[in-house]
Amino acid sequence: MSAIETLGFIGLGVMGEPMCANLARKSRLPVYATDLHRLPLQRLAAAGVTACGSAAEVAQQADVIFLSLPSGREVQEITDAVRTAPKRRAKTLVDCSTSPVALTREIAARCAADGLDYADAPVARTREAARSGTLSIMVGGTPEVFARIRPFLDGMGNEITHCGSVGCGQVVKILNNMVLFEIGSALAEALAIGRRSGVAEALLFDTLAKGSSDSFALRNHGMKAMLPRRFPEDAFGTDYALKDLSYALSLAREAGVDPAGAEVAGRRLEAASGRGYGRNYWPVLLKVVDPDEKG
């Protein structure tokens, strides 16, 4: 495998834009990027990122391409565009999106047939972590591909885990999100019960954080979103959460496991979406659990 001289990034949303910025600044390699929207590309010019008009154009310029896309459907479309790009330079494709496991493995097989190495590297933590380069990244791929892309992943995250063969990164990420949504559902229950029982909300969560129920979800999704009722539309929305949870439920069915807790969280997310909160930050499910809550 020849030396990696150029990088690409496709998908510059809430997570993708700061990831691409960190990649450009820390790799010190030329980075070529594209997105449906031009504003992220304009902002990334300050980091030295070169704007491209299409995925095929990125494939003609970059040795390794990273994807950060909304769902498996977009991943498949963009991957096909990269695979079939004329005069393709790209040799390695890394999907940092959250995509279905079976589809990930199908795409990897198609890429292999066209001489394109593939790895799944979905990310966890918040958009603040994407900005600071402190994401947790879960990777599925061969040891050789993992070793090749690891230096670039280090520029975007501080916890990089090789989870196994292609698709295993997606398994771990999907289960991470499943557990997160279940904890979020439980936090909403606790907040509602505590409030209606006469306990101050901030005191409740502060005290839980000192005990055995402390968690990343409590300190971030609970304290920073549920307590202040801050559910913006420019964060990880309810409909995206439902998409990820559907992947987890599919895995559970395939494994023969009854995901009762995940199904409860799913019903609450579906109800929140049905009430018009599909684009709002997913902890908005609090409004379903406690419809009489303030704000």
Tell me which CATH code domain 7-165 carries. Answer: 3.40.50.720
| Distances from the Cα of 40 to the Cα of 21, 71, 148, angstroms | 10, 19, 27
Residue 267 identity (one-letter amino acid): R
Tell me which CATH code domain 171-289 carries. Answer: 1.10.1040.10
How is the chain split into domains, by residue range?
Answer: 7-165, 171-289
Query: What is the C-alpha separation between 182 and 217, in angstroms, rounded?
Result: 10
173 part of the active site = yes
Residue 97: pLDDT above 70? yes
Whether 129 and 156 have beta carbons less than 8 Å apart is answered as no
Report the pLDDT value the prediction gives residue 294, as an integer from 0 to 100. 54
What is the maximal distance between C-alpha atoms in the chain?
67
The residues, ordered by sequence, that sit 6+ positions from 150 with a Cβ below 8 Å of its Cβ are: 160
6-55 residue pLDDT tens: 999 999 999 999 999 999 999 999 999 999 999 999 999 999 999 999 99
Pairing of strands 92-95, 117-120: parallel
Task: Over range 134-154, report the average pLDDT.
Answer: 98
First-to-final CA distance of the chain: 57
**Of 26, 87, 91, 173, catalytic:** 173
Helix (H, G, I), strand (E, B) or coil at 59: helix
